[in-house]
A and B are shown apart, each in its own frame.
Chain A
């Protein structure tokens, strides 16, 4: 059986979901026999490849670069998964959303030229940090801040068994 081509990406989030993924511990060995990690912050691959089976997206979408990348990744991926509360709801990055973008950036960086206010070397900050399903079609949702390793494993096991992964009950819990 060919290996599942798995990818993960880290947008506006704290990397806690990836840390939780690494908390799979010895289960990572079993995972490694069944998947090929083709793109991720924890592997050294710069370009998002074609024909990805599953993409785990951590983090909300907070700037134009993230939005562009997510749109490109969607085109090359069969199953896009919102991985953790920031991707599912906006969560902590969305705490800035009630504050107007420029007011926020000025409060942090002061007067003058501010990176992120307009498109430049630093991508333009979006008016709000938004959940990923408001940008692209999302196939599955894994809530949790972060989702526990057990919850991630429940999801991955179903996926690797060729079933439609569907979290239910206590595994559908925010926070």
Chain B
């Protein structure tokens, strides 16, 4: 076993476990957004940033950093809360996240994080970009206005379903998830219509057609169930 400290609590981890998993098993909650059990961690959203005291206070993503002997991890501090709030505010400012008018209102990980981190308003100017909605698929829709680019759909599609339909195009603020090589989702020849991407999506970007405001409930835990990491619910 590996011995480390998280928030001054001694914690044990098995070799190969990440700081996030070790914290989770010790009952220490670290906020996450791009992480979901059963998918390869990518450290994309940076909300799980923790500070390593004995690495000169370096900030690392807990989801993608292996637990190591003797690490002295700070998971909660005023500084980390401020950093996480800044990240969250930037996510809200980047696209059109209008909770009141979203299929995922009330069942959204981004909305929940705002509550958890005490975000009462966004201090950055909103960009209000003009973004399309792809409703070409017979069963599902993709609303780029809601997307946070966590890549959970991309990973669920390649790592669990094996279809590799989803990918990223563009760079920086112009990044978009897209089916195949930019085809409308409905025209995709690789999509199996399994819906794992929809269940993996933490926000209202991917949704089932026919769901109105606040009706879309997701079950990202199906990814752990179908890969037999967890018993089926």
A91 vs B105: C-alpha distance in the bound complex, in angstroms?
Answer: 13
A145 vs B115: C-alpha distance in the bound complex, in angstroms?
Answer: 14
Q: Decide yes or no: A94 and B125 within 8 Å by CB, A172-B118, A174-B114 being known contacts.
A: no
Distance from A60 Cβ to chain B, minimum over Cβ atoms (Å): 11
Encoded as 1 (CB less than 8 Å from any A CB) or 0, chain B from 89 to 131 comes to: 0001000101111100110100100110011111001101111
Q: Which of A85, A92, A98, A168 contacts B130 (CB 8 A)?
A: A98
Residues of B contacting A141 in the complex (Cβ-Cβ under 8 angstroms): 120-121
Q: Which of B46-103 contact A (CB under 8 A)?
A: 92, 96, 98-102
Tell me which of A30-38, A43-51, A68-76, A128-136 binds B: A128-136
Distance from B22 Cβ to chain A, minimum over Cβ atoms (Å): 27
A171 vs B44: C-alpha distance in the bound complex, in angstroms?
Answer: 29
Contact across chains for A89 and B98 when beta carbons are under 8 A apart: yes
Contact across chains for B111 and A173 when beta carbons are under 8 A apart: yes
Encoded as 1 (CB less than 8 Å from any A CB) or 0, chain B from 121 to 159 comes to: 110011011110000000000000000000000000000
Contact across chains for B115 and A173 when beta carbons are under 8 A apart: yes
Is A175 close to B, CB under 8 A?
Answer: yes
Contact across chains for B100 and A91 when beta carbons are under 8 A apart: yes
Q: How large is the interface on A (under 10, 10 to 19, 20 to 34, 35 or more residues)?
A: 20 to 34
Q: Decide yes or no: A94 and B111 within 8 Å by CB, A89-B122, A172-B119, A175-B102 being known contacts.
A: no
Is A97 close to B, CB under 8 A?
Answer: yes
Contact across chains for B100 and A94 when beta carbons are under 8 A apart: no
Distance from B109 Cβ to chain A, minimum over Cβ atoms (Å): 13
Q: Which of A92, A138, A169 contacts B100 (CB 8 A)?
A: A92
Q: CB-nearest residue of chain A relative to B98? A: A91
Q: CB-nearest residue of chain A relative to B214? A: A175
Residues of B contacting A143 in the complex (Cβ-Cβ under 8 angstroms): 120-121
A98 vs B145: C-alpha distance in the bound complex, in angstroms?
Answer: 11
Contact across chains for B128 and A172 when beta carbons are under 8 A apart: no
Contact across chains for A95 and B98 when beta carbons are under 8 A apart: yes
Is A62 close to B, CB under 8 A?
Answer: no
Is A170 close to B, CB under 8 A?
Answer: yes
Q: CB-nearest residue of chain A relative to B126? A: A90
A133 vs B126: C-alpha distance in the bound complex, in angstroms?
Answer: 12
Residues of B contacting A92 in the complex (Cβ-Cβ under 8 angstroms): 98, 100-101
Distance from A2 Cβ to chain B, minimum over Cβ atoms (Å): 29
Is A88 close to B, CB under 8 A?
Answer: yes
Q: CB-nearest residue of chain B relative to A98? A: B130
Distance from A132 Cβ to chain B, minimum over Cβ atoms (Å): 10
Distance from A58 Cβ to chain B, minimum over Cβ atoms (Å): 13
Distance from A124 Cβ to chain B, minimum over Cβ atoms (Å): 19
A97 vs B119: C-alpha distance in the bound complex, in angstroms?
Answer: 23
Q: Which of A129-172 contact B (CB under 8 A)?
A: 130-131, 133-134, 138, 141, 143, 145, 167-170, 172
A174 vs B114: C-alpha distance in the bound complex, in angstroms?
Answer: 8
Q: B-side interface residues toward A, CB under 8 Å? A: 92, 96, 98-102, 105-106, 108, 111, 114-115, 118-122, 125-126, 128-131, 214
21 A–B pairs (Cβ distance < 8 Å), ordered by A: A88-B120, A89-B92, A89-B122, A90-B98, A90-B126, A94-B96, A97-B126, A98-B130, A131-B126, A143-B120, A143-B121, A145-B99, A167-B120, A172-B114, A172-B115, A173-B114, A174-B100, A174-B111, A175-B100, A175-B108, A175-B214
Q: A-side interface residues toward B, CB under 8 Å? A: 82, 85, 88-92, 94-95, 97-99, 128, 130-131, 133-134, 138, 141, 143, 145, 167-170, 172-175
**Can you list the 9 inter-chain pairs with the closest CB atoms, starting with the nearest?**
A175-B99, A145-B100, A98-B130, A97-B128, A141-B120, A174-B99, A175-B105, A141-B121, A173-B115
Additional A-B contact list (8), CB under 8 Å, known A92-B100, A94-B98, A172-B120: A94-B126, A95-B101, A98-B130, A98-B131, A131-B121, A172-B115, A174-B100, A175-B106
